[in-house]
Structure 1
Amino acid sequence: MKIRHLKVSAVLLAATLLTSSCVGSFALFNKLAGWNKQATDNKFLNELIFILISPAYAVCTVADVLVINSIEFWTGSNPMAQRVGETQEITGKDG
């Protein structure tokens, strides 16, 4: 009976860990989709481009899920969403 309770507890713990929400911003996928939406002014040509580069969407999604969103979860910043080369001036309360 103890083993059964242990197995049920292990399954519930695994389910808790696997269903926790860690959804990132999917910046790489969104950049590709944004580029595809504005590649041309013709929506039919954009659809053709989408069909041709659909493997790139799969690669970007896998890279986002496994690597980039994991980095975003652990560090708090997404490396794809950062604006490299841009400076921002911040004034604190002391000036």
Structure 2
Amino acid sequence: MKLSKVGAGVALLICTQLAGCMGQMGLSGLVTKGNLSVVDNRYGRAGLYMLMAPVYGIAATADLFIFNSIEFWTGKNPITGKSPALVDTPINSIIKVNDKLDKDLTTAPVKLTQARMTAVDADTLAMTMTFEDGSQQVMTGRKQGEMVDFYLDGQFIASVSTSELEAYVAERA
């Protein structure tokens, strides 16, 4: 099944909006720090800010859609290196939710420490993913004719045509 360009755009927009964009704004902070370190008075800094307005906009957009999303899913900001993620910072809140949640749902879910690819045979690749807690999962891709079937720990999860995979790779090249 092929997605139209509009459908793919809507899906991408929904993914970015649901990605958890609240974060430390690390790149924007670096731009601000750079601005403050260039000139030692408020008028010079304000003038430099006006000249750098496009840079601030690009940095804030990158933080909002890329770096803060990475921070949300991994628990660590890739720019500042600080952990825990801003959304995981304990604070005296008005509405208490975490005390009713499973403890596994109160921290960043992505704790991958290693991924290793191996060729099982001419038509099968296996990726062994190791997580922080030492547990492992195996994602397998098996080519059958013009289709590639994907399995996670032996359970079927998706089937994709080789032309769709090639188009995906070509878009990112």
Please tell me the TM-score bracket, short chain as reference. Answer: 0.5 to 0.7
**Structure 2 residue 41 is matched with structure 1 residue 36:** no
**In 2, Cα distance between the equivalents of 1:78 and 1:22?**
12
Which ranges of 4 or more aligned residues in structure 1 deviate by more than 2 Å?
Answer: none
Flag the structure with higher helix content. 1
| Unaligned residue ranges in structure 1 (runs of 5+) | 1-17, 84-95
Flag the structure with higher strand content. 2
| Unaligned residue ranges in structure 2 (runs of 5+) | 1-16, 83-173
The 5 A counterparts of 1:37-76 are 37-76=36-75
Offset of 1:46 from its aligned partner?
1.1
Percent of counterpart pairs with the same letter? Answer: 32
**RCO higher in structure (CA 8 A, sep ≥6):** 1
**In 1, Cα distance between the equivalents of 2:72 and 2:48?**
32
Cross-structure match for 1:27: 26
Where 1:77 maps in the other structure, the secondary structure is: coil
Give the structure-2-normalised TM-score. Answer: 0.35
- Decide whether aligned partners of structure 1 residues 25 and 79 sit closer, same or farther in structure 2, where only a CA change above 3 A counts: same
Query: In 1, are the aligned partners of 2:22 and 2:69 still within 8 Å (CA)?
Result: no
Offset of 1:43 from its aligned partner?
1.4
Where 1:38 maps in the other structure, the secondary structure is: helix
- CA deviations over 1:59-84 (Å, ceiling 9, x no partner): 0000000000000000111110128x
Give the structure-1-normalised TM-score. Answer: 0.61
May I ask how many residue pairs the two structures share in their alignment? 65
- CA deviations over 1:2-57 (Å, ceiling 9, x no partner): xxxxxxxxxxxxxxxx79x7520101101111221222112111111100010000
Question: Greater shift after overlay, 63-72 or 41-50?
Answer: 41-50
